[in-house]
């Protein structure tokens, strides 16, 4: 949990930094930032938590990037699809590796970013970095998997809509933002979600457009040195 808090603070640092330009440090931990030639950014926070590592992969793509009419909801959709398997790891293989590592893993989508995170033993860092890089570089899915997941997203929307507060929030945003893409929630508009099973080709275009190194930041926190983080990131992501 402490590693997750550190990571969450680190993600917020660029947003809050303007308010803390004086002497006091906003982020209380030492960290390093390394930029790769392909645009990928690596942030390393070495802590004194023995044999424990947390990995965040932040994609600077959220619902605000969904500017094309009829195409809302795809940032959140890919949060789902990224767990369906890649060229070298099926979904079942991914789950087995995380289970063996005793990893806690999840993801979330916001207006401005999509974040994938996992906490696990340092001994499994190499294998998990390799596996995570594979889905970010070589995500693989066929039409039936795409349509199945799009129906799952529709089910999630229906479930959320049963909550009066969720429906109120949806209407509030649409009322408050007339031109900005903040007008729709991360789930997207219902009509777009209903049409999502027909958007297989567009989904591939969306992935190629936004899941790129220059939009991605790899964050490693815990019992890991900058040299180790650089080596593994260069080996699998660089």
**For the whole model, what pTM was predicted?**
0.87
The rounded Cα 92 to chain-centroid distance in angstroms is 20
Domain ranges of the chain: 2-17+41-67+74-236
Contact 221, 3 (CB under 8 A): yes
Q: What class is the 2-17+41-67+74-236 domain?
A: alpha beta
- In angstroms, how far apart are the furthest CA atoms of the chain? 56
What residues does 55 pair with on adjacent strands? 118, 220
What φ, ψ does residue 111 adopt, rounded to 5°? -60, -35
Please report the pLDDT score of residue 24 as a whole number. 60
Please report the pLDDT score of residue 9 as a whole number. 55
pLDDT tens string, the chain, 238 residues long: the values are 555 555 555 655 555 554 545 546 778 889 999 999 999 999 999 998 899 999 999 999 999 999 999 999 999 999 999 999 999 999 999 999 999 999 999 999 999 999 999 999 999 999 999 999 999 999 999 999 999 999 999 999 999 888 999 889 999 999 999 889 999 999 999 999 999 999 999 999 999 999 999 999 999 999 999 999 999 999 999 8
What is the spatial order of strands in the sheet that 41-46 belongs to?
Answer: 32-35, 41-46, 216-222, 52-59, 114-121, 104-109
Closest CA to 125 of 1, 229, 29: 229
Q: Which helix (H) or strand (E) holds 151?
A: helix 143-161
Instruction: Note the pLDDT tens digit of each residue in 142-151.
Output: 999 999 999 9
């Amino acid at each position: 949990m402490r590693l997750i808090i550190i990571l969450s603070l680190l993600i917020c640092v660029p947003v809050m930094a303007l308010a803390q330009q004086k002497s006091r440090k906003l982020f209380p931990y030492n960290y390093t930032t390394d930029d790769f030639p392909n645009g990928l950014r690596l942030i390393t926070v070495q802590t004194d938590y023995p044999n424990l590592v947390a990995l965040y992969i932040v994609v600077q793509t959220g619902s605000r990037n969904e500017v094309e009419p009829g195409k809302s909801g795809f940032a959140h959709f890919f949060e789902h699809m990224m767990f369906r398997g890649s060229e070298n790891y099926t979904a079942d293989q991914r789950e087995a590796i995380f289970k063996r590592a005793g990893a806690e893993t999840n993801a979330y989508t916001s207006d401005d970013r999509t974040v994938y995170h996992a906490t696990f033993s340092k001994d499994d860092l190499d294998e998990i970095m390799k596996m995570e890089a594979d889905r970010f570089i070589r995500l693989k899915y066929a039409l039936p998997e795409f349509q199945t997941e799009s129906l799952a997203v529709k089910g999630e929307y229906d479930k959320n809509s049963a909550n009066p507060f969720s429906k109120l929030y949806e209407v509030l945003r649409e009322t408050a933002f007339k031109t900005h893409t903040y007008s729709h929630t991360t789930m997207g508009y219902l009509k777009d979600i209903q049409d999502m099973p027909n958007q297989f080709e567009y989904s591939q275009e969306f992935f190629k457009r936004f899941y790129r190194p220059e939009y991605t930041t790899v964050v490693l926190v815990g019992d890991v040195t900058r040299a180790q983080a650089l080596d593994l990131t260069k080996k699998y992501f660089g």
